[in-house]
């Protein structure tokens, strides 16, 4: 029997954002409330560019979430951060991974989500990995910008466990939205997080969560 949600995804940081949050919601509320099917998209064959996929997401990128319970017809959600916001607004009725609507904490959560969205464009590792020629300036430019952004997170996490919330904060989608990209720091040219001890502790803390481990294993 088909589940209410269908996630088209691949084992990338953006794909893992969606699967991690869905796994956290499953753990918090139970599979009778939140559950989903997964269809793996093989990016190397450009399956995400095929007409059937473009009908779900005109941008031809993963992840895409299809809410098959939506009436009167299934509803497509693309862009990883938009998927996170959609599922928590629908399922996180106790604000376990969010904050009350209209609160200062909700505003801060959105600020850190948008920071992470902009992060991808400012620290894109593409010139380091995929440029047809070696361009030292481009490599240094993007590596330095990535390090600067880790420094921003390190400042925010001073004396905190998580990005948003009173006191030491609480785990929210603000953390889970950026976690997969920070986890890929070596791919982005940052071999070690020793210069960012608060970020390293935060990363290790989140990585030990069972639902996070389950989300990182999707798709199989």
What DSSP letter does each residue of 39-72 carry, written as one string? EE--GGGTGGGSHHHHTT-TT--S-EEEETT-SS
pLDDT confidence of residue 132: 60
pLDDT confidence of residue 220: 87
Confidence of residue 1 (pLDDT cuts 50, 70, 90): confident
Q: Report pLDDT digits (tens) over 35-90.
A: 999 999 999 999 999 999 999 999 999 999 999 999 999 999 999 999 999 999 99
Exposure of 160 in the CB half-sphere (CA atoms within 13 A): 17
Q: Counting Cβ atoms within 10 Å, is residue 205 exposed (0-12), middle (13-18) or buried (19+)?
A: middle
The stretch 18-30 carries a mean pLDDT of 98
pLDDT confidence of residue 137: 65
Which stretch of 13-27, 80-94, 179-193 has the lowest confidence by average pLDDT?
A: 179-193
pLDDT confidence of residue 188: 86
Confidence of residue 122 (pLDDT cuts 50, 70, 90): low
- Give φ, ψ of 7 to 5 degrees: -110, 120
Residue 130 has pLDDT above 60, yes or no: no
């Amino acid at each position: 029997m088909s589940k209410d949600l269908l996630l088209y995804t691949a084992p990338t940081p953006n794909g893992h954002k969606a699967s991690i949050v869905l796994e956290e919601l499953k753990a918090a509320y139970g599979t009778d409330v939140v559950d989903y099917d997964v269809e793996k998209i093989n990016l190397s064959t450009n399956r995400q560019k095929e007409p059937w996929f473009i009908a779900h997401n005109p941008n031809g990128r993963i992840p895409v979430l299809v809410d098959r319970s939506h009436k009167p017809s299934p509803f497509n959600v693309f862009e990883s951060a938009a998927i996170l916001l959609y599922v928590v607004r629908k399922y996180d009725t106790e604000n376990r991974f969010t904050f009350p609507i209209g609160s200062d904490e909700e505003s801060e959560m959105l600020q850190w989500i948008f920071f992470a969205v902009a992060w991808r464009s400012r620290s894109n590792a593409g010139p380091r990995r995929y440029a047809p020629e070696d361009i030292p300036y481009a490599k240094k430019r993007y590596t330095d910008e990535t390090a600067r952004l880790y420094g921003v997170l390190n400042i925010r996490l001073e004396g905190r466990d998580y990005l948003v919330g009173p006191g030491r904060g609480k785990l929210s989608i603000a953390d889970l939205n950026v976690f997969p990209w920070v986890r890929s720091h070596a791919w982005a040219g940052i071999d070690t997080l020793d210069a960012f001890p608060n970020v390293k502790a935060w990363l290790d803390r989140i990585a030990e969560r069972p639902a996070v481990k389950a989300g990182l294993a999707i798709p199989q």
